[in-house]
Amino acid sequence: MIKNILFITSIFFSSASIAGALEVTIISAEAEERMNQGQSFAGITVEPDRPVLRAVELALFESKTLLQRLGFHDALNTLDIKPDRDLREQLLAISPSSLVILDIPLKTMLKVAPILNELKLVSFNVRHSEPTLRNSLCMDYLFHAIPSDHMYFDALSQFLIYRGWRKVLVVRGPSKKDDARAETLIVSLKKFGASVVDNRQFSLSHHPDDRDKNNPEFLTGGASYDVVAVIDSEKDYGRYLQYSTRKARPVVGDVGLTPKSWHFALERYGAPQLNERYRHFKKGDPLSSQVSMTDKEFAAWSAVKLVTNSLSTNKKIGTNFDLLNLLKNPQSQVDLYKGTRGSVRLWNHQIRQPILLATPDTVVAVAPMPKFLHPKHYVDTLGLDEPESSCQLSKK
């Protein structure tokens, strides 16, 4: 069922202007158990996971003044799909001019994205950072607002090189996802000149036979390293490594110093204003002071803002605009409150942006780090560059 949850009619500044519409549809998967995601043992939440709805509402709320000035009204719909039923039939309910935000699990997205592409609906991946998606789902109508793992790990690697912590001990979890992400991390580390001292797997147990895998001191012993990089997608074990390594070395990666696209403690670039708005824009539903958008929510927010910001910078766009043309225009851009604007990498439709290096309570640095230079775009030392990408949408 498609639900219209918000409809703002605009007050026109000029009565001559014809109303255009910006419609946003968020697709979620029915009965997806998000409550348990990001939760570790005994109900301890290590990484909150919320639906992206609030962030999309915020983006539209923020854009209201500009949309009114442009003679646009906006509408927000949600579509809760049943992943087991005929997807195409369910997706036909979406209005042909709507911007689609994909707040769905990876398995469902792999099926939904190709259908949306056929239906010529512009959609945004806001949840999945898997680099392979940027190649396997290389489609005209699909964009990626959440950074890829290449971008996250390139930022982390630049930081390590910048600090002179070149010898890295990689410690990863037992899942396939951890394996793949550790590989991506190692690619990044080597790209910027770090050396991987060893690549070890941890296990969450106390079995004496597995001591070299489950005991932090053994796991990080017998090697010389500047820093331990942990890959722990489930946030299961990694957090126990801090302050427990064999050598007194910092822990980075999925715990400790972490690459993030957004953070509650970013002090500059107008970020405190955005965080404050996110917490308080919904009357009667304020959030507490340390809550801010998760990377997924920030991705959804930036997808909508990319469209509304581009509407104003692209003066030739009329009220009857084509969403894909708007986004594929090299002039399209978004103010991300990170000191450097974001825009679309036309070859694989990834939103380029700075990445924050942060601990749970502070932002330590904003990558790209100094002296990592790219000939064209300041932030394109983060992630797959055009010649490295097998997805070449701009050459089609």
Number of residues that bind another protein (CB under 8 A): 27
Looking at beta carbons only, is 176 or 376 nearer to another protein? Answer: 376
Binding of another protein by 329 (CB under 8 A): no
62 binds another protein, rule: CB under 8 A: yes
Largest CA distance in the chain: 78
Selected binder of another protein within 98, 214, 258, 333 (CB under 8 A): 333
The yes or no reply on residue 282 touching another protein (CB under 8 A) is no
Q: Is 319 in the site for another protein (CB under 8 A)?
A: no
Distance, in Å, from the CA atom of 58 to the CA atom of 74, rounded to the nearest integer, reads 13
From candidates 193, 221, 286, 339, binder to another protein by CB under 8 A: 339
Of residues 377, 385, 393, 394, which one binds another protein by CB under 8 A?
377
- Least spacing, CB of residue 268 vs another protein, in Å: 8
Peptide bond just before 286 cis, omega within 30 deg: no
- In the complex, minimum distance from the CB of residue 4 to another protein, in angstroms, rounded to a whole number: 25
Judged by CB under 8 A, the stretch of 131-139, 147-155, 221-229, 306-314 that binds another protein is 306-314
CA dihedral angle for residue 306, residue 309, residue 310, residue 314, rounded to 10 degrees: 180
Q: Mark residues 10-49: x for contact with another protein by CB under 8 A, - for none.
A: ---x------------------------------------
Please, what is the minimum distance in Å from the beta carbon of residue 270 to another protein? Answer: 6
- 245 in helix, strand or coil? coil
Per CB under 8 A, does 69 bind another protein?
A: yes
Q: Print the SS3 string covering 60-110.
A: HHHHHHHHHHHCEEEEEEEEEECCCCCHHHHHCCCCCCCEEEEECCHHHHH
Q: Does 335 bind another protein (CB under 8 A)?
A: yes
- Smallest gap from Cβ 340 to another protein, in A, equals 5
d(CA 57, CA 63): 10
Residue of 149, 144, 147, 226 whose CA lies nearest to 183: 149
Residue 299 CB burial class (10 angstroms; 0-12, 13-18, ≥19): buried
Nearest to 123 by CA among 98, 159, 104, 160: 98
Region binding another protein by CB under 8 A among candidate stretches 83-91, 98-106, 235-243, 266-274: 266-274
Give the DSSP letter of residue 387. G
**Shortest distance, CB of residue 122 to another protein, whole angstroms?**
21
Binding flag, residue 283, another protein (CB under 8 A): no
Report the distance separating Cα 57 and Cα 62, nearest Å.
9
Residue numbers at the binding site for another protein (CB under 8 A) = 13, 62, 65-66, 69-70, 268, 270, 273, 276-277, 309, 312-313, 315, 333-335, 339-341, 343, 374, 376-379
